[in-house]
Chain A
Amino acid sequence: MERLFIILVLFLAVFAGHASEIEVCKTCEISSIQKAIDFAEDGDLIRIKSGIYKENGIQILNKSLKIIGENYPVIDAEMQGTALSISANNFSIEGLKIINVGKSHTEEFAGILVSQSRNFKILNNKLDNVFFGILLEKSNEGVISGNHITSNARSQSNSGNGIHLWNTNKVEIRNNKIVGLRDGIYLEFVNNSEISGNFCKDNLRYGLHFMFSDEDIYTDNIFENNGAGVAVMYSKFIEMRGNHFRKNWGSASYGLLLKEITDSKLENNIFEENTIAISADNTNRIEYLKNDFKNNGYAVRIRGACYDNFFKENNFLYNSFDIGYTGRLNNNEFTENYWSAYTGYDLDKNGIGDVPYRPVKLFSYLVNRTPEAIILLRSLFIDLLDFSEKVSPVFTPANLMDSQPLMKKVSW
């Protein structure tokens, strides 16, 4: 009987704890966020009214709290280190505006720093003038959604990433907008995560940067005018669907940089107006299905050691070079793609051209060796050269061809 009573009391205590709500405002009893957190019990809700809170180094340690900002209360870190750091399970942070996070060469100051946590939500916050935006380390099972991160990164060495994940699993990053940082989203040792619907623009280095991250999916993101759109390095089992890479324009600029990637899949992506849409280096067993390459300098540039890649039903539209290739060996397969530069015919009207298409031009081989030769692009002499190479390949791999080029654009 006595034990039952104790359990009942405990239950009540827990329930009472759940119900309690703490308000923070400038004229309230509790006027500082840190104080509210110190005061709160496990499972409490902290409601922050609008106003400016000049605080930094706010810490949540092992408390499952729910923090909600009303009308975007401003946390101004006054260029002094991290604004909010959390190490707890089952928490959520919603509707805050965090500004002025300090820069450092030795420490990674962030707007919101999450470490060794589990099951968290970071929703609809605004971050401006930050060093790192949202930084996660050794944390699992979270959602980062609807955040708007802006900054004014000028040099790579002196700026941080928008959303930075390190050693983290099962995180969803959805519908964030990231403008003007170093990397928009950076993932290192991040597995089984999903990145969708984000918009990364004007970032110094990459829109999205993968390192050593396996089995991730990224879909329906837009990468515009970044140093390079997306870099996927040293990863495997990545799925990329419905992304839009555009205007990554410049001397060392890519839409998508693939380096040491295996067993991945690219489907329904659109590459538009990039200097190099895809640069593939040391990539194996990748399927490229139903992508659109439109008005790029190079559509796909294949560097060394790329084997068993498979290109099917892609549209190559008005690129200066469809495929750039080094070496004479080819072990990649191109079939049933649409090439706008294809000049063959289809006598039996089955929708597949009767003459194979060779996407590698002799001129792209020449430009590889002597970059200055690009100035002769589209001149009559070069067209003659390309034609003779097409008739009898000498410098380009003879078996690199699409033996079933489509006559009509693939619509998907």
Chain B
Amino acid sequence: MLKILKYSFKDLSRSRWSYVYFFFYLLLGIVLLFLNNDLSNAVITLMNVIIILVPLIGTIFGVMYFYNSREFTELLLAQPVKRSSIFLGQYLGVAISLSASLILGLGIPFVAYGIFQSAAIWDFFSLLVSGGFLTFIFTALAFNIALSQENKIKGFGMAILLWLFLAVIYDGLFLLSLVYFQDYPLDKFSLVASMLNPIDLSRILILLKLDISALLGYTGAVFKDFFGTSLGSITSFGVLILWVIFPVWRIVKLSGKKDF
């Protein structure tokens, strides 16, 4: 598996798209920091970019990579290698190279700016951690889609739909149900609903470091007691980890059954 991971990673690091992705973040970080000069504002803008763009790139790139390397995969399948290690190796290759682009691309300008001397280091750190998690989650979901869908066009369509659902539509439904059922106690419901969507969850984890903590208190004790405590952050990270583990497990299962 490690060998396949290495091949995938090397293959991707020769690919143009990884560099485009890397330079995009580098440019974004530099522009935000050196033209704006306000660290907390830069972190907020970055958060918007991360919770929208990272899942999108993860899904698209994952699906694209899987379809494009189909011939190589078929070649590998002819060799005496375990199926799970082929697909897991490819998955990890993609996910790791994407996260590396993200972390290096944003990390370099921030380190150059002097993040280590700044109080915003933890905001920035939570930003990168959630970005990494989102990459791993959405690449795994993309592999799931690509494995179960032979048709490329359908696969891309489903990947984009998945992103659209989790990034936009889910929140719309969530808000609608909040407004519709506003006569009922809703704190527990909204707590659970926000835990179920990885994009929402990472948004809240970042916001907790920024401005929401002031406003959460405003809505009632439940949010504050939950997200403000170490139990809350442990549960949140646990849910994020589950969001990685479940699709990866499904990759293993699907790839074991699939007929090539």
Residues of A in contact with B (beta carbons under 8 Å apart): 249-251, 253, 273-275, 295-297, 318-320, 340, 366, 369-384
Q: Are A373 and B178 in touch, CB under 8 angstroms?
A: yes
Q: Are B219 and A372 in touch, CB under 8 angstroms?
A: yes
25 A-B pairs with CB atoms under 8 Å apart are A251-B218, A275-B217, A320-B212, A366-B175, A369-B179, A371-B220, A374-B215, A375-B204, A375-B219, A375-B223, A376-B171, A376-B175, A376-B200, A377-B207, A377-B212, A377-B215, A378-B207, A379-B171, A380-B52, A380-B167, A380-B171, A381-B168, A381-B175, A382-B175, A383-B48
Least CB distance, A361 to chain B, in whole angstroms: 13
Partner of A370, one of B168, B169, B178, B203: B178
Q: Are B179 and A374 in touch, CB under 8 angstroms?
A: no
**Cα A407 to Cα B157 with chains together (Å):** 42
User: B175 to chain A: which residues have CB within 8 Å?
Assistant: 366, 373, 376, 381-382
Not counting A340-B41, A370-B178, a sample of 13 additional A-B residue pairs whose C-beta atoms are within 8 angstroms of each other reads: A250-B217, A251-B220, A273-B214, A275-B215, A318-B40, A374-B212, A374-B215, A375-B191, A375-B200, A375-B219, A376-B200, A378-B207, A380-B171
User: B204 to chain A: which residues have CB within 8 Å?
Assistant: 375
A370 touching B186 in the complex, CB below 8 Å, given contacts A251-B218, A376-B174? yes
Binary interface encoding of chain B residues 145-189 relative to chain A, with 1 for a CB under 8 A from any of its CBs, else 0: 000000000000000000000011101101100110010001101
A372 touching B186 in the complex, CB below 8 Å, given contacts A340-B41, A377-B212, A379-B171? yes
Partner of A371, one of B38, B48, B218: B218
Least CB distance, A47 to chain B, in whole angstroms: 50
User: A374 to chain B: which residues have CB within 8 Å?
Assistant: 212, 215-216, 218-219, 223
Q: Are B218 and A296 in touch, CB under 8 angstroms?
A: no
User: A297 to chain B: which residues have CB within 8 Å?
Assistant: 211, 214-215, 218
Least CB distance, A254 to chain B, in whole angstroms: 11
User: B214 to chain A: which residues have CB within 8 Å?
Assistant: 249, 273-275, 296-297, 320
Cβ-based interface call for B255 (8 A): no
User: B199 to chain A: which residues have CB within 8 Å?
Assistant: 379
User: B126 to chain A: which residues have CB within 8 Å?
Assistant: none
**Cα A373 to Cα B180 with chains together (Å):** 12
User: A379 to chain B: which residues have CB within 8 Å?
Assistant: 51, 171, 199-200, 203
User: B224 to chain A: which residues have CB within 8 Å?
Assistant: 251
User: B194 to chain A: which residues have CB within 8 Å?
Assistant: 375
Least CB distance, B134 to chain A, in whole angstroms: 13
Cβ-based interface call for B190 (8 A): yes
User: B212 to chain A: which residues have CB within 8 Å?
Assistant: 320, 374, 377
Least CB distance, A386 to chain B, in whole angstroms: 12
When C-beta atoms are compared, the residue in chain B nearest to A250 turns out to be B217
Contacting A at CB under 8 A, from B209-260, are: 211-212, 214-221, 223-224
Cβ-based interface call for B47 (8 A): yes
Least CB distance, B55 to chain A, in whole angstroms: 10
User: A370 to chain B: which residues have CB within 8 Å?
Assistant: 178-179, 182, 186
Partner of A318, one of B41, B182, B191, B203: B41
Q: Are A320 and B215 in touch, CB under 8 angstroms?
A: yes
Q: Are B174 and A371 in touch, CB under 8 angstroms?
A: no
When C-beta atoms are compared, the residue in chain A nearest to B47 turns out to be A378
Interface centre among A253, A273, A296, A371, by most B CB within 10 Å?
A371
**Cα A66 to Cα B219 with chains together (Å):** 54
**Cα A339 to Cα B179 with chains together (Å):** 29
Q: Are A366 and B215 in touch, CB under 8 angstroms?
A: no
User: B207 to chain A: which residues have CB within 8 Å?
Assistant: 377-378
**Cα A384 to Cα B207 with chains together (Å):** 19
User: B96 to chain A: which residues have CB within 8 Å?
Assistant: none
When C-beta atoms are compared, the residue in chain A nearest to B203 turns out to be A379
User: B168 to chain A: which residues have CB within 8 Å?
Assistant: 380-381, 384
Q: Are B48 and A378 in touch, CB under 8 angstroms?
A: yes
Cβ-based interface call for B129 (8 A): no
User: A319 to chain B: which residues have CB within 8 Å?
Assistant: 211
Least CB distance, A316 to chain B, in whole angstroms: 13
**Cα A372 to Cα B47 with chains together (Å):** 21
**Cα A52 to Cα B77 with chains together (Å):** 92
Contacting A at CB under 8 A, from B60-79, are: none
When C-beta atoms are compared, the residue in chain B nearest to A298 turns out to be B215
Least CB distance, A226 to chain B, in whole angstroms: 15
Least CB distance, A297 to chain B, in whole angstroms: 4
Least CB distance, A189 to chain B, in whole angstroms: 33
**Cα A371 to Cα B203 with chains together (Å):** 18
When C-beta atoms are compared, the residue in chain B nearest to A383 turns out to be B48
5 interchain residue pairs of minimum CB distance: A381-B171, A371-B219, A297-B214, A251-B217, A297-B215
Q: Are B215 and A382 in touch, CB under 8 angstroms?
A: no
Cβ-based interface call for B44 (8 A): yes
User: A381 to chain B: which residues have CB within 8 Å?
Assistant: 168-169, 171-172, 175
User: B171 to chain A: which residues have CB within 8 Å?
Assistant: 376, 379-382
**Cα A299 to Cα B90 with chains together (Å):** 49
User: A366 to chain B: which residues have CB within 8 Å?
Assistant: 175, 179
When C-beta atoms are compared, the residue in chain B nearest to A249 turns out to be B214
User: A249 to chain B: which residues have CB within 8 Å?
Assistant: 214, 217
A372 touching B41 in the complex, CB below 8 Å, given contacts A366-B175, A378-B207, A380-B171? no
User: B211 to chain A: which residues have CB within 8 Å?
Assistant: 295, 297, 318-320, 377
When C-beta atoms are compared, the residue in chain A nearest to B188 turns out to be A372
User: B174 to chain A: which residues have CB within 8 Å?
Assistant: 376
When C-beta atoms are compared, the residue in chain B nearest to A340 turns out to be B41
User: B186 to chain A: which residues have CB within 8 Å?
Assistant: 370, 372
**Cα A274 to Cα B213 with chains together (Å):** 11
Least CB distance, A318 to chain B, in whole angstroms: 6
When C-beta atoms are compared, the residue in chain A nearest to B181 turns out to be A370
**Cα A320 to Cα B207 with chains together (Å):** 11
